[in-house]
Every structure is written in C-alpha cells, then in structure tokens.
Structure 1
Amino acid sequence: MTIPHPRLPSPLVPVDDDRFTRRGVRLLLKRDDLIHPDLVGNKWRKLAPNLAAAAGRTLATFGGAYSNHLRATAAAGRLLGLPTLGFVRGQELAGRPLNPSLARCAADGMRLRFVDRTTYRHKRRPEVLDGLLAEAGARDAYVLPEGGSNAHAVRGCAALGRELRGRADVAAVACGTGGTLAGLAAGLGGRQRALGVPILKGGFLGEEIRALQEAAFGGPRGTWWLDERFHFGGYARTDPELDAFAEDFEARHARHGLGIERLYVAKMLYALTTLAQEGAFAPGTTVAAVVTGAPFPAPADGTTGADAQVVSR
C-alpha cells in the first residue's frame, strides 16, 4: 500500500543569505515539507516502506502529546483506510480535552490510549509491548517505533541522500530518533557528509544511529557527525532567541513561503548559521538544509512555497 501523489524528488531551493555568502558558503533548502500535504517531510519517507510492510494490518505506534509522527501515522491510516492506534506518553492526559495535535489524530480515526510514563519508558520490552497491544485488542497490529525509525524507515530515507548526490558537500538534518540521518548518510555519495543536529539532549543518539544502520544495511554507511549544542534545553523546548531567529529567517526569505517549524527545523537552521559564522564550512562549500516538517497548524493562507526557484526536481 502506498500513499498517492508524493512530490518527489522534493525541490532543492537556493537561498541568498548574507550570513552564509559572506563566508563563501552556498545554502540550499531541501524542501521535504512539500512532499505531501498530510505526510510532511521525513514522515512520508519513513512511513511509505512501513506501510508496504504492514500489508493492511492495524498500524500501532507511540509518541508524545504533540508528536508529528502520531499525526502522520493517523493521516496515513485515513488516506489508506487502515485502522491506527496511538499510545500517548502521559496517563495524566487521559480524560482531559485533546490538544490540537491529538485532536487531529482522533479526527483522522486514530484510537488513542494514554500510557503512564514508567510503562512508556519500557515500551520496547516484548512483555510490555505485548501487554499494551493485548489491552488495546490489537495483538496482530504492525508496530511502528516512536518516531517511526526502524530498518524500513532508514532504507526509505536513503532516497533523500540519493536525491542530494552531486548537489551539496554537506547535508544537514535535525534529529529526534536518528532514522533520517542514518538513511541520509547512507544515500549520499563520494565525499559528501551528513550533519545531524539532535533536538534531544543526552548524548545517546550516535549509538542509536549506528544501530539503525546496522539493522538496515548490515553495517555503517556514509560519513556523518553530530553537533549536540543546539537542543535549546531538549525536546519541545524553545526560547525567545530561537523564536526571534526563526521569525527573522522567515522574513529574510519570505518569497519562498517557508514557515519555520520550531522544534526541529529552527534548531537545525540556527545550528547551520552558527557554524557558518564560526568558520566550520570552508569557502566554496555548498550546504543543503533538509526541511523535515512544517509548523502546526499549517498557515491559514495555504502558502506552500511551491513557487520558489527550484534547483532540481
């Protein structure tokens, strides 16, 4: 089963930003946020191969109260007529009004079950997972991990790297569970490098990425590194400096119709701007910034950025 009408390859758009050009660096935006209106950015790349593997079964997955992955899975279920089940971290949320993100999941037909934080922390244990599925009456469900990162997803994200072959020296992406970076690095070629900007703090992500590449490809692939300075306090954390940066970036590049998603994309763009100012990229370097998502809810005026100048399609 596949989602119809993805826009692939996603547009690669040059942006003229003096914070990069004065350092001799060229900045491109890889607009994965334009792949599909319901499965934005890396979510389509991760979900498409998993939907094929699910073969019509219920899709069960995990996420926090504002999880992009939960919303994308629910949307995929609606588009394909598949039942979906979402385990949401935080039993204390049960019985409360749904926030806009979870309300969207419910509107798309996802059954939501709230899980206490201790159980959620141990969700990878077979006995815990089996218990959750049994309680939900979904023993035969196809289980997607939190964030959607598994071997299928990593192989799906390798196409992102292949689309950037010969287009950039460095490809950068924000990282939650690491699956997109693992695939991106594998798909790049030659001397291209992939940069991951973790949005969680803790220093554990490198190990996760290596494990994902092992599961997907049998061993390491590509050249990648992480810069862990730009999490802004951790998942779902921002501050006035980051908000001001994102608003300024949107204003500088208003003609591209790009709304900067704050929890992932803003942190990645902030990191690249800082690295450019630090001289981390040699003059003549082309950097591609992967836009993995859009703000939620989407802009009311329907702006998509589809009229932006395109380097490759």
Structure 2
Amino acid sequence: MNQKVPIPLPHGITLTIKREDLLHPHISGNKFRKLKYNILEAKQQSKAALLTFGGAYSNHIAAAAAAGKEYGFATIGIIRGDELVDKIGDNPTLSFAEGCGMRFKFISREEYRRKTEPEFLEALQAEFGDCYILPEGGTNALAVKGCEEILTEDDAQFTHICLAVGTGGTISGVINSAAENQQVIGFPALKNAGLWDDIRTFATNQNWQLAEAYHFGGYGKVTAELVAFINDFYDKTRIPLDPVYTGKMVFGVIDLINQGFFPEGAKILLIHTGGLQGTEGMNRLLMKKNLPILKTLSDD
C-alpha cells in the first residue's frame, strides 16, 4: 500500500511511502519478501526445519520464527553472543521467537564470524539434522527474487526510490525491478565497506547509489536526535518508523531534500521495510541510557 506523506516540502517535491510493514503482522516488510521463495524452496526440498543466524534483536530471527510457525517448519536460531543464553526473558525479540517455537544456539562473537564457512555449516547440519539454511539477514538469490516484487507498475510514476540497506538483498531486488529512468538510493544502516560489492553480486542495473552518512554511528546505534525525528514524524503522519533501518533512511531523505540534493518536482517513493518489532527492545536500551524513547502505536 502506498501512502502520501503529509508534510510540506520545498521545490514541489513529494514523498510517498510504501507500507511494506503492513504486509503481515509478524513476517513484516522485506522479511516477508525475502522468505517467500525460500519457504517454497524448503518445501520443495522436503526440509522439516529452517536454520538461520542473527543478533539478539534481529528482525530476521523474529520473522523466520514466525514463518516456521505459520508454514509448519521447526526453526533453529544461531544467536550472536553466548552471554545471552540466560537472558531470553529480558529480550522481546528472542522471547517472541521462542514463543513461535524457535530453538536457540548461542555462540560467541568470534565463533559467529564463521557463519558462512562450509565446515561450520556442516557441523550445524550434523548437530540439528538436515535443515534448510538461511543466511544472516536472509539474503540470497531467492530473497532477491522476492524483493524484486516490491515495486509494481503503479510505482513507475516515481523518479526516486529510497530504502534502508542492511545486507544488500532488498535494494538489489529493487534495483533489478526499477525502471531505467528511476534512481534507487540506499541508506546503509551500518558501516560496511564491502556493501557496494555485495549489492553488485545480485544487482543487474547501474541506476543506484548509496547515501552513507546516515548510519548514526553504526548498526543499531540510535541517538536522541534520531528518536526526536522519528517521534515528530509519527506525530505529523501517524506512520511509525523503526529506529534501526527505515527511521534512519527517512531522516536521510528529508535532510538531503533540505540540502537541495533532489531536483525540483522529484517524486520520491520511500520503502518502509518493517522492523517495528524491535522498537520495544530498543526502548528498553534507551531507558537504560536515560535517553528519550520512541512513541509506539500503543501510546495513542
């Protein structure tokens, strides 16, 4: 669903947001797109379980657990940080995933770096059985195929497509399906010098760029300025943004508009990639740091 963003902008520029966050109550946004064809492939291969990787607040972990419950798969989450083993109840994301039936294996950050090594994956298969393995963040060729379906014929009117970037799978799919006259701009949510190459692995077109100045210090880093922006945006539009991905992207887009980056009359489509499940966990962290917290739908 596309929704006009009702805030005044200079130079005849308009903003519209694609509410991918509304696709599913728990398999939200780009995670729905990334999992679609992987779930079909897992069924085709007659796999009984999905095994995947993520951090304590991972949108992907939550979505994979929900997908397993909905589509009849057992799920195993390989979680970064062995110190979390006895803290599941304190973490909304892990508690939700556990409630969906996901089993966890907590490993050290050092061991987690081996998550793509064949020997490490073989050891996991030996431990948990013949699982369908999804990479961290869910990005693979089938995930990109799913993300190619984000844009529709109705989106041909837009001159610019803007979205947050994590592992690069979602933007790759959007790049592949965007028209030649559309510019795709990605806003990385983390510092990753190899991100350009990661995107080129899957993206077939050249009409894209990255705006790398809006990660707010790195993955999962949130400042009082960003919280204030997200809350103000919600007050004006009634559209909730997550603080790790889409909130940073929308902040960046409006900042670039004010800098004169976009041409007069630009029609900008923002992709809301979901991730709202992480807001509760982020607010707990913000409160511990005595920082302002994010408004949520429950505050209305």
TM-score, normalization: structure 2?
0.89
Q: Give the aligned length.
A: 280
Per-residue deviation at 1:300? 5.9
SS at match of 2:151: helix
| Cα separation, 2, equivalents of 1:268 and 1:169 | 17
SS at match of 1:172: strand
8 Å CA contact 1:162, 1:188 repeated in 2: no
Alignment of 1:82-93 (within 5 A): 82-93=73-84
Per-residue deviation at 1:122? 1.5
Alignment of 1:138-177 (within 5 A): 138=129, 140-163=130-153, 165-177=155-167
What do you get for the CA RMSD once the two structures are aligned?
A: 1.7
Unaligned runs of 5+ in 2: 281-295
| Cα separation, 1, equivalents of 2:213 and 2:153 | 28
Per-residue deviation at 1:24? 1.9
| 2:269 equivalent in structure 1 | 288
| 2:289 equivalent in structure 1 | none
Amino acid aligned to 1:224:
W
1:270 to 2:225 alignment: no
| 1:46 equivalent in structure 2 | 34
Q: Specify which structure has the higher proportion of helix.
A: 2
Per-residue deviation at 1:204? 1.8
| Cα separation, 2, equivalents of 1:301 and 1:274 | 28
SS at match of 2:157: coil
1:101 to 2:93 alignment: yes
Query: Equivalent of 1:34, from 22, 32, 46?
Result: 22
1:235 to 2:223 alignment: no
| 2:109 equivalent in structure 1 | 117
| 1:128 equivalent in structure 2 | 120
1:186-226 Cα deviation digits (max 9, x unpaired)? 0111301111000011322111111133xxxxxx2251110
| Cα separation, 2, equivalents of 1:103 and 1:165 | 37
Query: Equivalent of 1:61, from 52, 61, 66?
Result: 52
| 1:78 equivalent in structure 2 | 69
TM-score, normalization: structure 1?
0.85
8 Å CA contact 2:21, 2:29 repeated in 1: yes
Per-residue deviation at 1:96? 2.9
1:285-310 Cα deviation digits (max 9, x unpaired)? 1000101114226856598xxxxxxx
| 2:232 equivalent in structure 1 | 248
8 Å CA contact 1:165, 1:189 repeated in 2: no
Per-residue deviation at 1:240? 0.4
SS at match of 2:186: strand
| Cα separation, 2, equivalents of 1:172 and 1:66 | 24
| Cα separation, 2, equivalents of 1:277 and 1:97 | 43
8 Å CA contact 1:173, 1:291 repeated in 2: yes
Per-residue deviation at 1:131? 1.4
In structure 2, relative to structure 1, the CA distance for the partners of 1:300 and 1:59 (3 Å cut) is same
SS at match of 2:125: helix
1:23 to 2:11 alignment: yes
In structure 2, relative to structure 1, the CA distance for the partners of 1:155 and 1:164 (3 Å cut) is farther
| Cα separation, 1, equivalents of 2:297 and 2:126 | 41
| Cα separation, 1, equivalents of 2:151 and 2:273 | 13
| Cα separation, 1, equivalents of 2:154 and 2:194 | 27
8 Å CA contact 1:63, 1:89 repeated in 2: yes
Per-residue deviation at 1:16? 2.3
SS at match of 2:156: coil
